[in-house]
Amino acid sequence: MCVLCYELAPEDHWTDGVSVGETADMPGRPRYRRTRILSAVLAPYGLTVSDPGKGAHRVIADRKGSAEVAAALPAVWQAAERLSSRTIDVLDPHLLAALAPDDPA
């Protein structure tokens, strides 16, 4: 995707907003956390997620070198399904078990 299309893509989604407890002294921290969570969810599907650091965009890539820029969370799921050729089920019990911490305490 060219820079112009990237910049003209739809902006913010409510999930990319300010998190509770976020302050000016920790810019980007909640955003980084959300990107890590997306990475963990999409890794079992053979996908990676990166954050260019500007706007609500994420880059979703597969292991074959294909990638898509996704603006906001709904587009992330759509891009992930196109790149993986599988239905992404974030409520899959096996995925949730893999994401659960080993020590619940």
DSSP-derived letter for residue 60 is E
* Rounded Cα gap, residues 15 and 20, in angstroms: 12
* Rounded Cα gap, residues 6 and 59, in angstroms: 11
- pTM summary value: 0.67
Write out the two tokens for 33.
């956390």
What digits encode the pLDDT tens for the residues 39-78? 988 998 999 999 887 777 889 999 999 999 988 788 888 9
